[in-house]
Structure 1
């Protein structure tokens, strides 16, 4: 096998999870894993939510790789899905695009929250992601997405080839939320109002039955609003990653408390 053939090898990772409520507790009842995707065993948090970490033990996502994540949450189940570390999008010398498809379904009375660590696109990387969540009336959902402008400390700011992300939230036959982001860095990407001096950006959406009485505290780089279908959206940006993480966590917990009536997440890593 030649070195060029080796460079063209790609991987397909699969992760299919089913969660149900049994005897008042959320349990993982189905677990299909195919490397390089896997999970660490579930942990029950003090608030009663079942938490799982998605793990990719390799050096990152390579050009041409494909990942598929499917999670089904039954009535009454409470699920939190996190990633163990940042998603590192490796360079793609051939130009092959890495892809990831995520599908969530949540039954009435169930709750699914997905808060992955930030995505870091290396110079020359190309990545397309789609996420679709379908849930019934009475279900609750929370999602966030955080993106870096690149390996900033390595001088790779806005040096990736392309980044795409499409997020759709559906309830019954009604689409409540659509966010389609496509970034293809050029000189115009550095214009004020696009990236400017910010190196970290985040978005999020939450759907719950609770009333939103108090919007999260809004620093200059964070904004929230309602979609026509009643979903609550969030946008944020910051010059430093830890600053964005701190503000995003505070906003998330405020929204969770009001929309879900949920206790704070106490995650132990």
Structure 2
């Protein structure tokens, strides 16, 4: 690895712990271009942070390393300030991101990043692994655009890969893999149809889902063999997808976590 390449590796390592009845950030390791705004305490007691990047997006060869630990009884919410823009990669190198989450018994971690927006000719690969202790709670979602649709860049990125794994006590509860390599054949009707925005998510909690959110033709939920609750959604419009996802997310949070709706002010 050259010196130039090493300077493009961003790191963000966070640890949240419960101190005197409040969730506090006890570890904060940052290496540009990954940064966080100071933690904000929500009315429900959850500690919220926004991940920000001062750069114009991810370039080929960039790597992001994000690790979040949540201690017993602590509650953390991690959001991103803006969409993840994956820039074109003339060299063919992929921008990569690795996320590793650890949640202790009685802890809760939620990670709801903004949309990933792959530009024409871009390559992006992401892995996310969450390790939970018994009694830990987790909520994750991700959304993807087919490209810069309003600029005519629909399914013209070079590659998009995402792998999400959730483990508890040595048992894998959930595995989700996306691998998209657009080419001439993927521009034919039927690949994504007329839909340009997609989402997936997973939630693990101690509650029971009595009513699974669903929107015919747009959103479905269910349960994995390991007991994790999964979500799939798609839409022709980004705002519609976001509205469907937010509503379903709050319904699942209420049933699995016994949680009140998130009150996030951007």
Runs of 4+ in 1 over 3 A off after TM superposition: 5-10, 190-194
Give the CA deviation at 1:218.
2.1
Q: 1:125 aligns with which of 111, 122, 125?
A: 122
Q: Residues 9 and 210 of structure 1: is their aligned pair in 2 closer, same or farther, counting only changes over 3 Å?
A: closer
TM-score computed with the length of structure 2 as normaliser: 0.96
- How many residue pairs end up in the alignment? 265
Q: 1:47 aligns with which of 37, 44, 49?
A: 44
2: CA distance, partners of 1:93 / 1:10: 19
TM-score computed with the length of structure 1 as normaliser: 0.95
The answer to whether the 8 A contact 2:214-2:221 is kept is no
Secondary structure at the aligned position of 1:259 is classed as helix
Give the corresponding residue for 1:32.
Answer: 29
Q: Which runs of 5+ in 1 are unaligned?
A: none
The CA deviation string for residues 132-174 of structure 1, in whole angstroms up to 9 with x for no partner, is 0001000000000100000001111101000000000000110
Q: Residues 175 and 16 of structure 1: is their aligned pair in 2 closer, same or farther, counting only changes over 3 Å?
A: same
Q: 2:69 aligns with which of 69, 72, 76?
A: 72
Q: Which runs of 5+ in 2 are unaligned?
A: none
1: CA distance, partners of 2:124 / 2:161: 6
Q: 2:176 aligns with which of 160, 179, 184?
A: 179
Secondary structure at the aligned position of 1:53 is classed as strand
Q: 1:189 aligns with which of 170, 186, 193?
A: 186
